[in-house]
Structure 1
Amino acid sequence: MKFRYKASCRKNNLRHIRDFVSTSLSNWQMSETDVYNLVTAIDEVCANLIIHGNDCNTKQIFEVYISKKEKDLIRVDIVDPSCIFDINGYKMPDLNDLIKKRSKGGMGLMLVKRLIDKIELESDDFGNRCVLYKKLSLS
């Protein structure tokens, strides 16, 4: 089973994306913590794509695909035709520096890397793809 959502790079679409992710994940048995972690990580990646990657250009369209690869593994593909940001090469800022500077940004990707088990970046004829893998905590 695979779920697909297509959106323009408009900030108010983030709410719809979160709803799509929650609804899609409800088709599989998983903990509330895993659902929350996936919704949060996907929201952050999409927010960065909309705001920083595409400058909120509403003509730019991207897609989110969610699939279950194994009974305990979720795969999320975020496909965007614009330039790709290398989240794996991102150097995380020092948390103490962010607190001292009272910075409102800079922690989102740090959060994504903590919530997601594996991140891959791919490019193909359809655009650039950020692939997130989350291993579920089965009871």
Structure 2
Amino acid sequence: MVSSEKGRVTLPAALENLEDFKEFIVQNAEKAGLDPQKTMEMELAADEILTNIISYAYRGTSGDITVTCGTDEEGRFVVETADAGEPFNPLLADMPDVSASLEQREIGGLGLFLVKKMVDETRYERRNARNILRLYKKV
């Protein structure tokens, strides 16, 4: 769970809002004390998650994304995304076979693979008809 010292922003799930979401995350990461490398990793991971929500969650309808940033009780920086789109647990998605040659790899899945590599922990839950994904990074 994200602590009471947190920031929150809700915007429509649209590509034109992606930069605003990322700027919000970077500002909160810096405020939480993340070094530049970890801040960049969180920004890239969040970019992938947010792009997926924008592209697939609402399937032809409109909706919002809420991003909450802060530290948890263990002092980790947390980025939480929440949307009311179609249920989707990215942690259950098939991971690509990165040992296969480029010709043998299936299209897709590499972004979620990279998210898992860039953050220390990911958690997903479906609560109150909302997808909630948390990305954790040690400060």
* Aligned twin of 1:67: 70
The question of whether the paired residues in 2 share the 8 Å contact of 1:50 and 1:56 is answered with no
State the match for 2:10 in structure 1. Answer: 6
**What amino acid is aligned across from residue 122 of structure 1 in structure 2?**
E
Q: In the TM superposition, what is the alpha-carbon distance from 1:39 to its structure 2 partner?
A: 0.6
Distance 1:10 1:98, change over 3 A: farther
Following superposition, the deviation at residue 77 of structure 1 comes to: 1.4
Aligned to 1:87: 90
Q: TM-score when scaled to structure 2?
A: 0.84
User: What percentage of residue pairs aligned between the two structures are identical?
Assistant: 24
Asked if the contact 2:32–2:70 (Cα under 8 Å) also holds between the matched residues in 1, the reply is: no
| 1:37 equivalent in structure 2 | 41
The 10-residue stretch of structure 1 (97-106 or 32-41) with the greater mean CA deviation from structure 2: 97-106
Say whether the 8 Å CA contact 1:66–1:74 is kept in structure 2: yes
Higher mean C-alpha displacement, 107-116 vs 75-84: 75-84
Conserved? CA contact 1:98–1:106, under 8 Å: no
Deviation at 1:56, TM superposition (A): 6.4
Deviation track 1:43-92 (CA, whole Å, cap 9, x = no partner) reads 110100110222364x3111000111147401221111112322221111
Q: Which runs of 5+ in 1 are unaligned?
A: none
* Shift in alpha-carbon separation, 1:126–1:26, aligned structure 2, 3 A: farther
Pair 1:17 & 2:21 matched: yes
Map 1:79-118 to 2 at 5 A: 79-95=82-98, 97=100, 99-100=102-103, 105-118=108-121
Cα-Cα RMSD: 2.2
Tell me if structure 2 keeps the 8 A contact 1:11–1:56.
Answer: no
- Unpaired stretches in structure 2, ≥5 consecutive residues: none
Paired residue total: 135
1:20-43 CA distance string (max 9 Å, x none): 111122212221111001111111
Structure 2 SS opposite 1:100: coil
**AA of the residue aligned to 1:40:** L
Q: Cα offset for 1:102?
A: 8.4
Contact 1:53 1:83 in 2 (8 A): yes
Query: Which one of the candidate residues 114, 127, 138 is aligned to 1:135?
Result: 138
Q: TM-score, normalised by structure 1?
A: 0.84
- Is 1:51 matched with 2:55? yes
